[in-house]
Structure 1
């Protein structure tokens, strides 16, 4: 159940971050509200996930998957460039998450 909450937290974090970009510095009402609601739901679900998953594992997965998904959305929705240094940096994050998970005592 914890990983379902974590997946929801990741989804809402990516949604909220996308709305943050669309809010244009909080000058657009609906994206600003979407951002606020998205982050509230994100942290609620992350908190629920932490009842079942170790903090180090949950946060590593939350951050890494959030970065990857946000980068994909930025590429397709906002036309942001994906460069070699960006790919290397994201790959290092993924490797770091793998190492954290490999050496954890998560239940």
Structure 2
């Protein structure tokens, strides 16, 4: 169940961050409210996860996967190109998250 909460924290953070552009500097109220709700839900679920798992593992997973998913969302939603260095960098992020979650002694499974 804890990994479901972590997944929800990541999903809500990706939704919220993806909506930042649509808020138009917080002037478009419906997108702004939705974005704020996304961050609130993300941090709520994140706060639940760090009760059980080490904060370093949680934050690396949340932020790392968030970067990859937001970059992918930017590609599809805003036509923001991902060049080879960006794709390679995202690959390294994924490898780093996997290494931390699978092999780190600080991880509690």
**TM-score relative to the length of structure 1:** 0.92
Indicate whether 1:106 and 2:108 are aligned.
yes
Deviation at 1:98, TM superposition (A): 2.1
Deviation at 1:64, TM superposition (A): 1.4
Deviation at 1:15, TM superposition (A): 0.7
Aligned equivalent of 1:94 = 94
Question: Would the aligned equivalents of 1:2 and 1:49 in 2 still touch at CA under 8 Å?
Answer: yes
Aligned equivalent of 2:24 = 24
4+ residue runs over 6 A deviation = none
Question: Would the aligned equivalents of 1:12 and 1:39 in 2 still touch at CA under 8 Å?
Answer: yes
The CA RMSD over aligned residues, in Å, is 1.2
- 1:25-78 Cα offsets, whole Å, 9 max, x none, are 111111111111110110000001112222121111111111111111111110
Question: Would the aligned equivalents of 1:16 and 1:36 in 2 still touch at CA under 8 Å?
Answer: yes
Three-state SS of the structure 1 residue aligned to 2:20 is: helix
Return the alpha-carbon distance in structure 2 between the equivalents of residues 69 and 103 of structure 1: 23
**TM-score relative to the length of structure 2:** 0.91
